[in-house]
C-alpha cells in the first residue's frame, strides 16, 4: 500500500547527489575563470633571458610592444634533480630604445662557466634562435615567435569571464530556489500523505504452515481461512460466509505473528501487514484517514487479508483514556469499527489481528460481525515443545544423542520464541567451543542462560559461601524429591548466574492447567526448603532465601485472596493486577474488605507459610544424610542433572566416583588399622 515506506532507509537519493554535483560544477567553473590568470609567472632579467635563448632553453616567446617598452612573455624548459623537464612561465621587459640596439651580452654558451661576448640586438637574438631551430615538415617547431598588439583584444578577453561568472551565479541561484520550491511542495505532499495507509503488501513469505509447530488446533483454524479463499464455492454452497475478522490472543512469543506469516505464505491472495501503532500520529484525524485508505486499497485488491499486529495499541476501550472523546486513538478506533462492520460492504476482506492484551480491547471491537473468530494461542504442551525443538533444529547440526522429548519435559512454560532462542544460543555456543555439532551440554547451557544469563565464572566464592549455597540448594532438591505433589527435580547448580548464586530446576511431571491445593502447598514447601536447610546445617541464615520467601508469600496470598483455599472460604478479596490498564484500573484502589478481614487474611497467610516451613524442616531432618550427600557432590561438581541425582540417591556416589574393586578392598582392609591407630593416638 505504501511504496515509499518500502524504500531502504539511510540511502542518499539520486536527486540529492545530482544537486551536489551540479553545485560543485558551477562553483568549479567560476573558480577556474577567477584563478586561471593567477598562475605563477617568474620575472627574469633581460641578460638571463638572452642566456637561456642562446642555450636553447626558450621554447616560445610572445612580443607585446608597448609605448615605452616591449614585454617578452614565454616559457623556458629546465631539468630538475631527477632529470625530468620542468616548464616555467617567464616575463621580462626591455625598453623600446634598446630593442634594436646592438648590445654586448656575456653568455655562457658551452655551459662550462666561461662566458663569451655577443654583440647582437635582442631582435636578432630571437630571430637567430628561430632560424637555428631544427625544422621538419609536418612537425611544429620547438621555438615559436608571436607578436601581439597590446591594444588588440577579442570580446571574450573583455567580457567572457564576467559573462560566465554572472551566468553561473544566476544558474546556481535559480537551482537553489527551485530546490527550495520543490522542498516546500514535497512538504505539502507529505502533509497530504499523512492520511495514506502504512500497510505493507507482503508479496512473498517463506514461512508455511509446515514451519508452525506446537499449535495444531490454532493452525487448523487458520488453514480454514486459506481454504475458504482458494475454494469459496465450497463454503457458499452451504451458505457459509467469510469471517470478517480473526483475533489471535495469547502470551508473547507463542506464535501469533508466525501464524499470520504462514497464512501469507499459503494464501495466494494479496496480504497486507501493519502495526497498530502505525495508525496513531500527533495530528488529529490522521489515524482515521489511514484506516479509510487501508480499507479502500483492500477493496481494490479483494479478496485479500489484512494483518494488524498489536491491535491493542489502537483498539483500547473508549472512555478509559485521559484524552476524552476527542482522543486520537478513539477516533481511529471508531473508524476501524465502521470499516469492519458499517453501512459499506467489505466482503472479501479478512482482518487478522494479534494481541496479548485482549482484556483492554473495546467490547464493540470484539463483538460478532467484526472479529467473528477468537483464537487463543497458548503456551505449547510437552508434545508441542518437542515439535518446536525439531522445527528449529532443521538447519542445524545437532548431535544424535540429543533427546528432544527429554528437553521438552525440562522446558515447561517455555514459548516457541524461547525454544527458538535456546537452539540459536546452543548453536552459537557450539561455534564458540569449536565443536562439529550441537551437543546436549550446549543446549543445557543455553537453557540456563535463558533462566539467569551467562555463568559468572569470575565471581569467586569462599569455601563457606560455597557450602552454604550447596546446603541451600540441596534443601530445595530433597523437598522436591521427597515431598508429595512436588515437581520433579531436573537440575541442581551452584554456579552463579546473574543475581542467582544457584538454583534448583523443578518441573511438574505433566503439563498442568489447573493446580490443586496440595500442589500449591507443595510449591510453597519447596520454596521454604532452602531456608530450612540453612537453619539446620549452617550456623546462621543469610539473604539467599529472599526470592524464595517472596514467591512463597505471593503463592500463599493468592490462595487466600484469589483462589479461596483457606478457612475464610471461597471469597475473592483481591484479583491479579499483573496487567494494569491505567484508564480502567486507576480508580480501583480501594480494598473490598474490612480491617478485621485484613487481619484474618494475614493470619491465614502466616498459617500457610508456617505449615510449609515446618514441613520443609521435617523432610530435611528425616533425610539429613541425603542432603549432606547432595551438598558434598555439589561442592565437588557444581551442578548435577536429574539422571545423576537418581543414580546418586541409589548408589550413594556418581559413576565417575566409583573406585576399582582392588582399591576398594585395600581401603577396607586399611580402615580398621587406621581406626586402631587413631584410638592409640587418642
CA 404 to chain centre: 29
DSSP-assigned beta bridge partners for residue 70: 65, 94
**E-state strands within 250-388:** 271-275, 304-309, 349-355, 373-376
**In the chain, how many H helices and how many E strands?**
22, 16
Element (H, E) at 176: helix 155-193
102-135: burial string, b at 16+ Cβ within 10 Å, e else: eeebebeeeeeeeeeebebebeebbeebeeeeee
Distance CA 6, CA 76 (A): 63
Question: By the 8 A CB rule, do 410 and 445 touch?
Answer: no
Q: What is the distance of C-alpha 387 from the center of its chain?
A: 27
| Four-point Cα dihedral 509, 513, 519, 520, nearest 10 | 140
Report helix, strand or coil for 72: strand
User: Which residues on adjacent β-strands are paired with residue 94?
Assistant: 70
Q: How far apart are CA 312 and CA 333, in angstroms?
A: 10
Strands 103-107 and 69-79: unpaired
Residue 16 CA to residue 389 CA, distance in Å, equals 49
- State phi, psi for 429 to the nearest 5 degrees: -65, -40
Active site residues: 473
Long-range contacts of 60-64 (CB under 8 A, 24+ apart): 60/143, 60/144, 60/145, 60/146, 61/126, 61/144, 61/145, 61/146, 62/146, 62/147, 62/148, 63/126, 63/145, 63/146, 63/147, 63/148, 64/148, 64/150
Inter-residue long-range contacts of 617-621, CB under 8 Å, 24+ positions, other chains counted: 617/532, 617/535, 617/536, 619/478, 619/479, 619/482, 619/483, 619/525, 619/529, 620/475, 620/478, 620/479, 620/529, 620/532, 620/533, 620/536, 621/536
Label the pairing between strands 245-249 and 349-355.
parallel
Residue linked to cell 474490612: 594
Amino acid at each position: 500500500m505504501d511504496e515509499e515506506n518500502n524504500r531502504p532507509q539511510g540511502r542518499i537519493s539520486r536527486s540529492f547527489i545530482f544537486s551536489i554535483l551540479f553545485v560543485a560544477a558551477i562553483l568549479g567553473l567560476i573558480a577556474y575563470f577567477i584563478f586561471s590568470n593567477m598562475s605563477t609567472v617568474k620575472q627574469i632579467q633581460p641578460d638571463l633571458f638572452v642566456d637561456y635563448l642562446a642555450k636553447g632553453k626558450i621554447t616560445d616567446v610572445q612580443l607585446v610592444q608597448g609605448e615605452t617598452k616591449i614585454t617578452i612573455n614565454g616559457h623556458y624548459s629546465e631539468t630538475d634533480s631527477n632529470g625530468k623537464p620542468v616548464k616555467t612561465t617567464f616575463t621580462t621587459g626591455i625598453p623600446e630604445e634598446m630593442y634594436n640596439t646592438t648590445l654586448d651580452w656575456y653568455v655562457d654558451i658551452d655551459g662550462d662557466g666561461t662566458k663569451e661576448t655577443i654583440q647582437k640586438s635582442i631582435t636578432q637574438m630571437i630571430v637567430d634562435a628561430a632560424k637555428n631551430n631544427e625544422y621538419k615538415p609536418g612537425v611544429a617547431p620547438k621555438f615559436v615567435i608571436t607578436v601581439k598588439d597590446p591594444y588588440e583584444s577579442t570580446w571574450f578577453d573583455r567580457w567572457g569571464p564576467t559573462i560566465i561568472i554572472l551566468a553561473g551565479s544566476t544558474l546556481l541561484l535559480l537551482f537553489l530556489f527551485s530546490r527550495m520550491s520543490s522542498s516546500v511542495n514535497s512538504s505539502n505532499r507529505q502533509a497530504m500523505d499523512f492520511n495514506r495507509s502504512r500497510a505493507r503488501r507482503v508479496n512473498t513469505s517463506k514461512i508455511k504452515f509446515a514451519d508452525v509447530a506446537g499449535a495444531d488446533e490454532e493452525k487448523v483454524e487458520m488453514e480454514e481461512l486459506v481454504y475458504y479463499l482458494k475454494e469459496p464455492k465450497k463454503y457458499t454452497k452451504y451458505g457459509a460466509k467469510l469471517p470478517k475478522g480473526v483475533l489471535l490472543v495469547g502470551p508473547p512469543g507463542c506464535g501469533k505473528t508466525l501464524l499470520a506469516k504462514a497464512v501469507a505464505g499459503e494464501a495466494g491472495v494479496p496480504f497486507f501487514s501493519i502495526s497498530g501503532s502505525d495508525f496513531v500520529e500527533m495530528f488529529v484525524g490522521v489515524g482515521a484517514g489511514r484506516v479509510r485508505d487501508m480499507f479502500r486499497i483492500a477493496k481494490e485488491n479483494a479478496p485479500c487479508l489484512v494483518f494488524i499486529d498489536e491491535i491493542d495499541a489502537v483498539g483500547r476501550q473508549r472512555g478509559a483514556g485521559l484524552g476524552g472523546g476527542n482522543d486520537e486513538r478513539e477516533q481511529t478506533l471508531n473508524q476501524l469499527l465502521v470499516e469492519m462492520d458499517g453501512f459499506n460492504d467489505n466482503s472479501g476482506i479478512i482482518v487478522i489481528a494479534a494481541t496479548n492484551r485482549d482484556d483492554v480491547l473495546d467490547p464493540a471491537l470484539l463483538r460478532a460481525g467484526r472479529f467473528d473468530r477468537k483464537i487463543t494461542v497458548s503456551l505449547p504442551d510437552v508434545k508441542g515443545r518437542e515439535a518446536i525443538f525439531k522445527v528449529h533444529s532443521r538447519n542445524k547440526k545437532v548431535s544424535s544423542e540429543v533427546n528432544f522429548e527429554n528437553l521438552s519435559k525440562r522446558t515447561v512454560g517455555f514459548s516457541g520464541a524461547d525454544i527458538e532462542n535456546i537452539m540459536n544460543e546452543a548453536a552459537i555456543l557450539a561455534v564458540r567451543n569449536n565443536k562439529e555439532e550441537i551437543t546436549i551440554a550446549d543446549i543445557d547451557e543455553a537453557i540456563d542462560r535463558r533462566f539467569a544469563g551467562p555463568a559468572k565464572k569470575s565471581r569467586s566464592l569462599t569455601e563457606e559461601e560455597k557450602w552454604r549455597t550447596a546446603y541451600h540448594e540441596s534443601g530445595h532438591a530433597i523437598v522436591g524429591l521427597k515431598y508429595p505433589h512436588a515437581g520433579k527435580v531436573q537440575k541442581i547448580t551452584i554456579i552463579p548466574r546473574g543475581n542467582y548464586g544457584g538454583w534448583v530446576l523443578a518441573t511438574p511431571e505433566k503439563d498442568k492447567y489447573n493446580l490443586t491445593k496440595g500442589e500449591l502447598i507443595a510449591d510453597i514447601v519447596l520454596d521454604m526448603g532452602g531456608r530450612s536447610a540453612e537453619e539446620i546445617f549452617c550456623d546462621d541464615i543469610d539473604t539467599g532465601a529472599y526470592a524464595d520467601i517472596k514467591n512463597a508469600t505471593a503463592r500463599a496470598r493468592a490462595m487466600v485472596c484469589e483462589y479461596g483455599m483457606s478457612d475464610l472460604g471461597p471469597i475473592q478479596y483481591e484479583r491479579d493486577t499483573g496487567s494494569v490498564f491505567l484508564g480502567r484500573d486507576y480508580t480501583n484502589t480501594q480494598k473490598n474488605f474490612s480491617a478485621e478481614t485484613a487481619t484474618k487474611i494475614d493470619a491465614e497467610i502466616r498459617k500457610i507459610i508456617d505449615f510449609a516451613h515446618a514441613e520443609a524442616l521435617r523432610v530435611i531432618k528425616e533425610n539429613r544424610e541425603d542432603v549432606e550427600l547432595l551438598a558434598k557432590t555439589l561442592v565437588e561438581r557444581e551442578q548435577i542433572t536429574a539422571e545423576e541425582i537418581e543414580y546418586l540417591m541409589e548408589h550413594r556416589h556418581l559413576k565417575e566416583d566409583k573406585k576399582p574393586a582392588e582399591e576398594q578392598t585395600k581401603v577396607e582392609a586399611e580402615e580398621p588399622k587406621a581406626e586402631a591407630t587413631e584410638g592409640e593416638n587418642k
